[in-house]
Amino acid sequence: MELVIVESPTKARTLGRFLGKEYQIEASMGHLRDLPKSQFGIDVDHDFKPEYVIVKDKDAVVKGLKAAAAKADQVILAMDPDREGEAIAYHVRYLIKNAKLKSKKSKFQRVTFHEITQPAIEDALKHPHDLDLKLVHAQQARRVVDRLVGYTLSPVLWKKVRRGLSAGRVQSVAVRLIVEREQEINAFKPQEYWLILVNLKSQKGEAFTAELISINAKKIVVAGSQTLEVSQTAAAKETITLPTKASIESVITDLKASRYLVTNVDRQEKHRSPYPPFTTSTLQQAAANRFGWSGRQTMKLAQDLYEQGTITYHRTDSVNLSPLAVTAAAEFIKKEFGQNFLPEKPRSYKTKSKNAQEAHEAIRPTDVTAKEIHDSFTPRHQKLYQLIWQRFLSSQMADAVYDATTIDIEATPEKSTNKYGLRVTGSIQKFSGWKKVTGLDNQDTIAPSVDKGETCQFIDVKSEQKFTQPPPRYSDASLVKALEERGIGRPSTYAPIISTIIDRGYIERTDRRFYPTLVGQAVVKFLLTNFDSIMDYDFTADMEENLDRIARGEKDWVPVVGTFWKPFKEKAEQVEKNSKRVPVPVEKTGQKCPECNQGEVVIRSGRFGKFLSCSRFPDCKYTANYQEKVDGLKCPGCGQGDVVIKRTKKGRQFYGCSRYPACKWASWTNPKQGNSE
């Protein structure tokens, strides 16, 4: 009998469908060994040796695996094909290697597969290999560095900012991104600008609208140098702004009394190529943009799909596809849509990641002919699977083809020497190509049928006042994209990073956007002032690259950790001794404390949201619940109570009625924006 050990019961059941009775399949239920939760657990004086302990409540699992191993002829470690999976396999082997195995010839084998299908499993069993200690060391190095940072920085934060705080190497940098974006928004000053649109009629009687893009060959730009997307003329070498209503009065006068001549008509056939298949990052971004899901939600659904054999491994930064998958896709596309929907040659995409150990294949369905999955999955699973299926299939299809038209028109006033440039653009899809399967609506914009040299009839002119907008707050999608672009974190860490900084109360997710809390702002201010290297984006990215080098066998993990640890420890000791305290700001209410009648009631931010407290804390221990009202909105359920912001036990924000439990109305979304649940 051969014992196969995987991480989860679901994965074990799926494997059981493909393996015979000679295999016994057991689950480790995740990690069995880890650093202790309440102790440092790192021997810094002896090469940073980790002091691993059995995870709480896992003793019975370890005992069961030892008993199963004692009856087995061979033990096969079939954990996920990444650093975490390799580390789990390593620790499982460590714990059961001393079990009394049935045969003296018994040995441990490691197998990896990137999809849970019959062919993949059979192939993996034919090609067993040893544990990849390079991956184990990379995972261990990450764990050790994060423990060193957390257990060193957190006590400093307790003393210098507020008790109960904690810091993380990557998480703190992610909070910095959100805090700095909020600072940009607060510092932003809107700038006025004006858009001028002229309604014209062609000689064939077609009415259309042209936009003013230049004056005397000077390109019109937004005041402050931000160029309007439509304001692009090849001949314009200088720029001009229309920042006020007064600045457009003479322009409007000229345009009302102008002759309009078509100076150029450019009609081209343009091709739009499909997007690459999903990586972990792009899957999270797409699910956030399309469905509003958090990274944690997306990855949980993807984990279920993978473990039940419907998609390939979902933690990857690769856009590569196996030759078999490409061939299967081509056959399906030809049969389903026709030969013309196939490109001239199969498409391949380049992977940015240098880590060949983990960048195996993009996320794709295991069976391209399965447009849907069986009914045992939830509607959310169905949505995510459909998204993955469409993205994979479309990545192997022909370009979408468009007829694109650009029309330039010159306006010459009767009583002025000025010349005004206007432009009309249009795009019509003539061949859907890969868009045939994406489910995205194509929006054609039809340009008028005019010829060069043709004059157009003036109908009227309109002006629109606009204001420049501040940069948007990060969403799940844009934050993951920013982390990836800066080299911060890796595919398996994006969702945990965001979840951790929300759980710690450093940021809040409101209407799918991230806002820093007062606590988060105070922590970032303190860390930037005193630990600028730890908070440096390039430093964090360099550490990630070093971890990749360890995984590739290019560096040893102990020197990497040692190079980081010594200066960091010295800096922490100096900061703890000499730095100034950065207290968490509070919001004042103007009310006297009802308990001591001396202090003022203030609004503080805690792990579970905002609460009322006395400004004299800790001398006065008064606290009370705080109900944060939403713009004076009344409850859509009862019409009597106020809409207030609440939080679940896990810290997720939602909206409820202030009259709860008399009124049980609740919604994940702001009722001011609609879509309440």
CA–CA gap between residue 190 and residue 396 (Å, rounded) = 44
319-339: pLDDT as tens digits: 999 999 999 999 999 999 999
CA–CA gap between residue 395 and residue 624 (Å, rounded) = 55
Side chain identity at 636, as an amino acid letter? P
Side chain identity at 581, as an amino acid letter? R
Q: Which residue is listed with tokens 């409101």?
A: 510
Band of the pLDDT at 606, cuts 50, 70, 90? low
**Architecture in CATH of 280-394:** Orthogonal Bundle (1.10)
Does residue 1 contact residue 22 with C-beta atoms inside 8 Å? yes
Instruction: Say whether 192-273+405-467 and 138-188+472-578 share the same fold.
Output: no
**Mean pLDDT along residues 483-502:** 90
**Mean pLDDT along residues 629-650:** 84
* Average confidence score pLDDT of the chain: 90
Cβ-count burial 516-540 (b if 16+ within 10 Å, e if not): bbbbbbbbbebbbebbeebbeeeeb
Beta strands at 587-592 and 2-6: parallel, antiparallel or unpaired? unpaired
**Mean pLDDT along residues 430-436:** 93
CA–CA gap between residue 379 and residue 391 (Å, rounded) = 18
- pLDDT at 230 exceeding the cut of 70: no
Which CATH number is associated with domain 192-273+405-467?
Answer: 2.70.20.10
Q: Which of 16-30, 227-241, 265-279, 600-614 has the lowest mean pLDDT?
A: 227-241
Helix (H) or strand (E) run with residue 411 in it: strand 400-413
Band of the pLDDT at 231, cuts 50, 70, 90? very low
CA angle 127, 129, 134 (to 5 degrees): 140
CA–CA gap between residue 544 and residue 552 (Å, rounded) = 13
- pLDDT at 314 exceeding the cut of 90: yes
Q: Is 349 a catalytic residue?
A: no
Side chain identity at 523, as an amino acid letter? V
Tokens of 97: 């290697």
Cβ-count burial 658-672 (b if 16+ within 10 Å, e if not): bbeeebebebeebbe
Burial label, 379 (beta-carbon count in 10 A; 0-12, 13-18, 19+): exposed
pTM for the whole structure = 0.86
CA–CA gap between residue 663 and residue 80 (Å, rounded) = 47
Catalytic residue chosen out of the listed positions 90, 306, 313, 385: 313
The domain ranges of the chain are 2-131, 138-188+472-578, 192-273+405-467, 280-394, 587-624, 627-677
**Is 138-188+472-578 assigned to CATH 3.10.270.10?**
no
Q: What percent of the chain has pLDDT over 90?
A: 73
CA–CA gap between residue 667 and residue 662 (Å, rounded) = 16
Q: Which of 140-154, 171-185, 430-444 has the lowest mean pLDDT?
A: 430-444
Task: Give the fold, CATH level 3, of 2-131.
Answer: Rossmann fold (3.40.50)
172-198: pLDDT as tens digits: 999 999 999 999 999 999 999 999 999
Q: Which of 214-223, 251-260, 268-277, 559-568 has the lowest mean pLDDT?
A: 214-223
550-585: pLDDT as tens digits: 999 999 999 999 999 999 999 999 999 999 988 888
pLDDT at res. 353: 55
Cα atoms in the Cβ-side hemisphere of radius 13 Å centred on 548: 19
